Amino acid sequence: MVDAAAVLAGVDIGSTMVRVVLAEASGSRLDVIGVGSAPSLGVRHGVLVDADRLGSAIRQAVEQARVASGVHVDRVTISISGEHVDALQSQGAVAVEGKGGTISTMDRQSAIDAARTVAIPFEREVLHVLPRDFEVDGQQRIQNPVGMSGVRLGARVHIVTGGVTAVRNLVACVERAGYRVADLVLSPIAAARACLSDDELDMGVGLIDIGGGTADVVCFEEGAVVDTCIVPVGGQQVTGDLAVCLRTTWNHAEALKRQFALSEDDSLQVARVAGGSPERVAQAEAWEIIEARLEELFGLVSRGLDLPQRPIPRAGFVLTGGSCQLEKMATVAERVLGASTRIASPPVRAGVGDGLAQPEWSTAMGLVLTAHDAQSEGPTQLTTRFDSTAGRMRSWLEGLL
Ligand SMILES: Nc1ncnc2c1ncn2[C@@H]1O[C@H](COP(=O)(O)OP(=O)(O)OP(=O)(O)O)[C@@H](O)[C@H]1O
Ligand SMILES: [Mg+2]
């Protein structure tokens, strides 16, 4: 039987799907051993709106992953998003107390704690305190001050907060579903862990996770988080626009949207609502509808990051999340944001666990990677070893032991 403490579970609570990745940790090794997903009916624009429905979606998705891997799931790392999430920059400083004026890990932590002691309104809960850089006796932009000598150590941090009610309701919902919450991670921070390279992080990069109900953004400079924002627009609005403007059903509009890239015809067959006879609509007309919503989305990202006032990330933007599979998404992003973009998926080897190598799995994969980082030092060696047959075989064997 796999030690329960060694099983890491990432539960991505999205607006359209709950996605679960289970992994087994052993030192620096992390084996993905099961995945599960279920439609997420109780979340709108990243925020919980129906705890019963979300609770059963979480149970269903975890159970699917659990059955495939034959392990017990107790503690889970969950994603959090939604417009209630906010961020602020802060700084603080302390006198160095390490022996002989050498800065210790305790001094580093004290400086971060000093930066954290800003007045956070009582209706907000701190989700992350992310150190940006340090200052030793006036020398700025130090990435790791531990081991240096100095008298005064300052820290700059990026603090992410969430609305207390939204955060507590989400945690309570997961706990009622039968799992303890080990940690909450802002959705784009998890996705960034799965998608970004060290070079991109060092150069400066923005990641945009475009899902069904939100576009979640995080920017890095010199390896540290410098900005985060949540835009309440995603693929569901694109589908909704197509359904309304082309007078068709939601399901048909969703199918049209997904096939858009595949269609070589100049026109699309559109089934009208309430039995109206199908009509052909020019691709260009459907594209205008999609493009208008995408321009709005990236316009809001640009405003959320205050882009005209600050430099574009040197490594450009990385797009992930289910909606980045939409045809020409990267082209619109490049035009509106004025930066190069690439599309990213989780780093899963082809062959095993192929389904995971899709952009909608970035956040769930990032959650287990983040949980693993918290308990192991050095780079993670990621492998996948699961398929439904092997999983069933394994639980059957374990049942015999
Ligand atoms: N092939 C495709 N082409 C276009 N869009 C797609 C494709 N596949 C999935 N999508 C869109 O991706 C969206 C779902 O993405 P994802 O699973 O990342 O969202 P989520 O995590 O549930 O939601 P959110 O992160 O916004 O809370 C849906 O709107 C869906 O229409
Ligand atoms: Mg998502």
pLDDT tier for residue 278 given thresholds of 50, 70 and 90: confident
**How distant is the alpha carbon of residue 286 from its chain centre?**
29
Give the per-residue pLDDT at 100: 86
Choice among 36-40, 99-103, 233-237 with the minimum mean pLDDT: 99-103
Element (DSSP H or E) covering residue 247: none
Ligand 1 pocket, Cβ-based, cut-off 6 angstroms: 14-17, 40, 46, 81, 211-214, 234-236, 239, 254, 257-258, 321-323, 325-326, 360
Q: What are the structural domain ranges in the chain?
A: 86-163, 197-343
Closest ligand 1 atom to the C-alpha of 260?
A: 3
Q: Is residue 263 pLDDT above 90, yes or no?
A: no
Residue 4, amino acid: A
Q: Where are the alpha helices (DSSP H) in 99-196?
A: 105-116, 164-176, 187-195
d(CA 297, CA 87): 20
Give the per-residue pLDDT at 393: 33
pLDDT tier for residue 225 given thresholds of 50, 70 and 90: very high
pLDDT tier for residue 158 given thresholds of 50, 70 and 90: very high
Give the per-residue pLDDT at 394: 38
Which residue's CA is the nearest one to ligand 1's atom 25?
211
pLDDT digits (tens, 9 = 90+) for 95-125: 999 888 899 999 999 999 999 998 889 999 9
Q: Where are the alpha helices (DSSP H) in 204-328?
A: 235-245, 250-259, 283-304
> Can you read off the two tokens belonging to residue 135?
């200052």
Choice among 62-66, 184-188, 275-279, 314-318 with the minimum mean pLDDT: 275-279
Element (DSSP H or E) covering residue 53: helix 51-69
b/e for 352-369, b at 16 or more Cβ within 10 A? ebeebbebbbbbbbbbbb
Q: Is residue 131 pLDDT above 90, yes or no?
A: yes
pLDDT tier for residue 350 given thresholds of 50, 70 and 90: low
Q: Which ligand is nearest to the CA of 322?
A: 1
Between 27 and 219, residue with greater pLDDT: 219
Choice among 91-100, 215-224, 276-285, 329-338 with the minimum mean pLDDT: 276-285
Q: Which ligand is nearest to the CA of 326?
A: 1
Q: Is residue 389 pLDDT above 50, yes or no?
A: no
139-142/224-231 β-pairing: unpaired
Ligand 2 centroid, distance to 77 Cα (angstroms) = 14
Q: Is residue 4 pLDDT above 70, yes or no?
A: no
**pLDDT over 90, % of the chain:** 73
Closest ligand 1 atom to the C-alpha of 235?
A: 29
Give the per-residue pLDDT at 41: 86
pLDDT tier for residue 191 given thresholds of 50, 70 and 90: very high
- Full-model pTM: 0.92
**392 near 50, Cβ under 8 Å?**
no
3-state secondary structure of 392: helix
CATH architecture for residues 86-163: 2-Layer Sandwich (3.30)
Strand-pair partners of 67: none
Q: Please give the mean pLDDT across all residues of the chain.
A: 89
Strand-pair partners of 136: 139, 153
> Can you read off the two tokens belonging to residue 296?
């709005």
215-221/124-136 β-pairing: unpaired
Give the per-residue pLDDT at 399: 33
Question: Does the domain formed by 197-343 have CATH 3.30.420.40?
Answer: yes
Which residue's CA is the nearest one to ligand 1's atom 8?
322
Choice among 146-150, 203-207, 266-270 with the minimum mean pLDDT: 266-270
E strands in 70-191:
75-80, 86-95, 124-136, 139-142, 152-163, 180-186
**How many other CB atoms are found less than 10 A from the CB of residue 350?**
7
Q: Is residue 347 pLDDT above 90, yes or no?
A: no
Give the per-residue pLDDT at 118: 87
Report the candidate in 46, 80, 89 with the shortest Cα–Cα distance to residue 227: 89
Pocket probe for ligand 1: among 214, 323, 345, 363, the residue whose CB has the most ligand atoms within 8 Å is 323
Q: Is residue 386 pLDDT above 90, yes or no?
A: no
Average pLDDT over residues 20-47: 91
Give the per-residue pLDDT at 341: 97
Long-range residue pairs from 145-149, CB within 8 A, at least 24 positions apart, any chain: 145/103, 145/107, 145/108, 145/111, 146/103, 146/104, 146/105, 146/107, 146/108, 147/102, 147/103, 148/102, 148/103, 149/96, 149/100, 149/101, 149/102, 149/103
d(CA 41, CA 192): 25
